[in-house]
Structure 1
Amino acid sequence: MNINFKKRIIKITLISILVLIVILVLTNPNKITRKFPLKTQISVENTYFEYYNKMNDSIRIILRTAGLDPFNDIHKRYKRKAPRIENLNNDYNVKFLPNTQYGKMKFIKKNINFDVNLEKYAAGEKEFSLYGLFQPFYLESYDNKILIIHGKGRIIYSNLSEVVSEDTKDIKFTIISSNLLDLARSGHVNGTLIHNNKIYVSYHIRKEECEYFRIVVADINIKNLEFKDFYSSNECGPKYSAGRMQFFNHESQDGLLVSIGMGAYNKPSTFPQDKKTIISKIIFINLDTKKHIVYSLGHRNPQGLLVDGNNIISTEHGPHGGDEINKIIFQGNYGWPIASYGTAYDDIDKNEISSKGYLKSHSDSGFIEPVYAFVPSIGISQIIKIPNSFSNLWQNNYLLSSLNDQSLYRIKFNKNIDGILSMERIYVGSRIRDLKYFKKANVFILALEDQVELGILKLEIE
């Protein structure tokens, strides 16, 4: 190939990129599609998203800088500034999957198809889309299968062997019939748990100006899930969030630990410090009596929950900064909204409580300090323990996921789990809502919500 020909190719490529940008500026899908009927709108946006997904990083950076990528509304929400070119070579010691500090991983992404019925469930909104194009979903393991529970209640499954196979590009998913779609239609799913051949799902529903927290349960199978009430609260909440569940034995009683947050963007209230309400608490629900007690209080939005032997670990969204990892102690108070290592959001109403700022030291005010606080925040999500069988180099480690930071964190706690000895950030490039370890395949599977994908992470070289 001669030099002139190479120059012509480069010239044509640059012209093509410029033409693409001009077309997008003139017909920005983020603006023009809002004038279309819902079904057409989603179809156009999904087509644009599909093409965007195939573009190389350079073109993506150009589109994002011009405010033309599919996530433009989300960038505004999270106050993401346009990427700066000088930052491209400023990733000192940051590991990008599949590489980590301790070993090389194999990381594969595979698409998910929830087979959405737009006509039936749209109800005038972008159905099955809770945050712009983002579609939160949760993962569970059952009988060598992976169950995927969408935020709007659709449940599908596939064989684990097919999901983890490098030879399978298009995974075959089967819909599990259930009544969860109708139950969660006015709200969305907050968490899932399989225990003793039963599947529990927490969700909230909206009625007029109130939201209400619910947990339903069904005998686990892959044909039809008939969910029945397990726990219902009549407390009117302005905006429920979280809802992770873990089996736990408290004072010789079997039950569920449940994290319940209140995610109003800029409106902290008195609920987190009020023991008479479940809002912004971790509660314990007795499996037999279905009655609850407040296990811990003073939480904002506890997105992740893990029971590891006698230790309980939660991960919690702070305000503007101050995401926390907490070791949960019975009747412990974690300080929100009085103490936080975060700050008020920039667009806070000056009359709001949080405009006064938050105390930084928790312990000086009688609250429990976080094990670790992320400043700035990472959009913290789920945390799990890494089995020692996974890797000789990842012994007694934990894996933490994040949303806005689009990264995993490999964590080594101290013996008492009240401090962190080491932490490695591993960049993934997608929002991670959930993650599970699948022992049979010795893999981690990630719920990548922005592109509705499964991320399969397995060890390649130690």
Structure 2
Amino acid sequence: MKYLLALFLAVLSMTPSAQTVAYRVETVTGGLEHPWSLAFLPDGRMLVTERPGRLRVVEPGPDGRLQLRPEPVAGVPPVLARGQAGLFDVLLDPDFANNRRLFLSFAHGTPEANHLRVVSARLDGNELKDLRPIFTSQPAKSDTQHFGGRMAWLPDGTLIFGMGDGNLERTDAQRLHTHLGKFMRIRPDGTVPADNPFIKRDGALPEIFSTGHRNPQGVVVVNGVIYAHEHGSRGGDELNRLTPGANYGWPITTGGVDYTFARITPYRSLPGITPPLTEWTPSIAPAGMAWYDGPLFPAWRGSLLVAALAERSVRRVPMGSDGTPGPQDVLFKELGERIRDVRMGPDGAVYLLTDNEQGRVLRVVPASP
């Protein structure tokens, strides 16, 4: 009864705002198998990862319209694709226009012994060359759940990315000898910055930036502020502001319960635990995330856009100047699609990836010019 009351109050507190913005949704291309991440190349093309392990190019066809190149990019490293495991994020180097380097995150290994791996590579035509592994999570874990994998650049040129708890020994998210349930920060060559928060802690892995995460699925850096979200269990999805060395509570604090409705912990908050900026209960299953500040939708400027798998929507979370989330909008539910990624394009449009065996790239623009 207490859980049901908390659930009811949470739903009331998360009622979306009534603001209406007219838009239309266009299909850029289909033919993608469980697309996971989208990146825009300087020449107007796009890169899309497919969870089974392919990197695809979307480019202008003979008629000038964007279309999917039939041949995947060659040179992608072997990917463990089973369950939630697969090829995850693609992120361009800040100096991509000159060095052509990009970064991929993916599941590496076997179902019985696997890791989150991050590599850098150089895009040469339709092939990856000069592949360099720069991070492999430790220790190996079994099963194929809760990998995280989203990446973002910090203003100092370091790379931040999240990893899930593996969904087996969830308390590893609180232990510093393992990468499970953490955000990591490294340099582009894989070395560890000297100012990482746990670098001088005996027994701690030096890459760790923050702890207490269940399954991070989105990270965005806005004017140096790091926003990240993660899946809860049954409820308790979180949007957090990350700071070095902070503990975000999983599994000793959470607003959710287990999938069996069993209690995970009696605590929603504890001293020393950084509380979420907002929480989604019931769970929306947040996926990709973007910051919108483009010209096409003035009413959406200054908002986080959060893709949602279970809710089949995008949550618009307006952020106040003090970093406080405002009333939310639920967008694109009429599509009836699991939304895996959301991005703001160079043209100011909103781009979506739909998560299914016949996945699409969608473009959202104002309803009238």
TM-score under structure 2 normalisation? 0.81
Per-residue CA deviations over 1:124-166 (Å, capped at 9, x if unaligned) read xxxx6xxxxxx2421111121011111122122122x66xx9x
CA shift, 1:414, in A, is 2.3
- Kindly tell me: are residues 447 and 320 of structure 1, through their superposed partners in 2, closer, same or farther at Cα, counting changes over 3 Å? same
Per-residue CA deviations over 1:423-447 (Å, capped at 9, x if unaligned) read 111213101111221123x311111
The answer for unaligned runs of 5 or more in structure 2 is 1-14, 193-205
Per-residue CA deviations over 1:369-414 (Å, capped at 9, x if unaligned) read 1000111000111221111423222231221110011011111122
In the alignment, which residue of structure 2 is the partner of 1:107? 25
Q: How does 1:48-447 map to 2 (within 5 A)?
A: 101-114=19-32, 135-142=34-41, 143-159=43-59, 171-180=67-76, 182-184=78-80, 187-195=85-93, 196-197=95-96, 198-207=101-110, 209-226=112-129, 227-238=131-142, 239-249=145-155, 254-264=157-167, 267-288=168-189, 290-291=191-192, 292-346=206-260, 355-362=262-269, 364-417=270-323, 419-426=324-331, 427=333, 428-440=335-347, 442-447=348-353
Counterpart AA for 1:107: V
- Distance in 2 separating the partners of 1:141 and 1:110: 13
Q: Which has the larger radius of gyration?
A: 1
- Distance in 2 separating the partners of 1:176 and 1:222: 11
Counterpart AA for 1:269: R
- Distance in 2 separating the partners of 1:111 and 1:460: 20
Give the 3-state SS of the residue equivalent to 2:176 in structure 1. Answer: coil
Higher RCO (CA-CA < 8 Å; seq separation 6+) = 2
- Distance in 2 separating the partners of 1:111 and 1:389: 24
Query: Conserved in 2, the CA contact under 8 Å of 1:212 and 1:237?
Result: yes
Task: Report how many residues are paired.
Answer: 328
- Kindly tell me: are residues 395 and 366 of structure 1, through their superposed partners in 2, closer, same or farther at Cα, counting changes over 3 Å? same
- Distance in 2 separating the partners of 1:255 and 1:228: 16
Show structure 1 runs of 4+ deviating over 4 A.
Answer: 183-187
Give the 3-state SS of the residue equivalent to 1:271 in structure 2. Answer: helix
In the alignment, which residue of structure 1 is the partner of 2:359? 452
CA shift, 1:174, in A, is 4.0
Query: Conserved in 1, the CA contact under 8 Å of 2:146 and 2:214?
Result: no
Counterpart AA for 2:88: N
- Distance in 1 separating the partners of 2:38 and 2:75: 18
- Distance in 1 separating the partners of 2:58 and 2:288: 22
The answer for unaligned runs of 5 or more in structure 1 is 1-92, 115-127, 129-134, 349-354
Counterpart AA for 1:215: V
Counterpart AA for 2:274: I
- Kindly tell me: are residues 401 and 420 of structure 1, through their superposed partners in 2, closer, same or farther at Cα, counting changes over 3 Å? same
- Kindly tell me: are residues 411 and 171 of structure 1, through their superposed partners in 2, closer, same or farther at Cα, counting changes over 3 Å? same
- Distance in 1 separating the partners of 2:87 and 2:138: 17
TM-score under structure 1 normalisation? 0.65
Per-residue CA deviations over 1:82-103 (Å, capped at 9, x if unaligned) read xxxxxxxxxxx989xxxx8342
Counterpart AA for 2:151: M
CA shift, 1:248, in A, is 1.3
Give the 3-state SS of the residue equivalent to 2:78 in structure 1. Answer: helix
- Kindly tell me: are residues 461 and 263 of structure 1, through their superposed partners in 2, closer, same or farther at Cα, counting changes over 3 Å? farther
- Kindly tell me: are residues 289 and 177 of structure 1, through their superposed partners in 2, closer, same or farther at Cα, counting changes over 3 Å? closer
Q: Percent identity?
A: 21
Query: Conserved in 1, the CA contact under 8 Å of 2:141 and 2:166?
Result: no
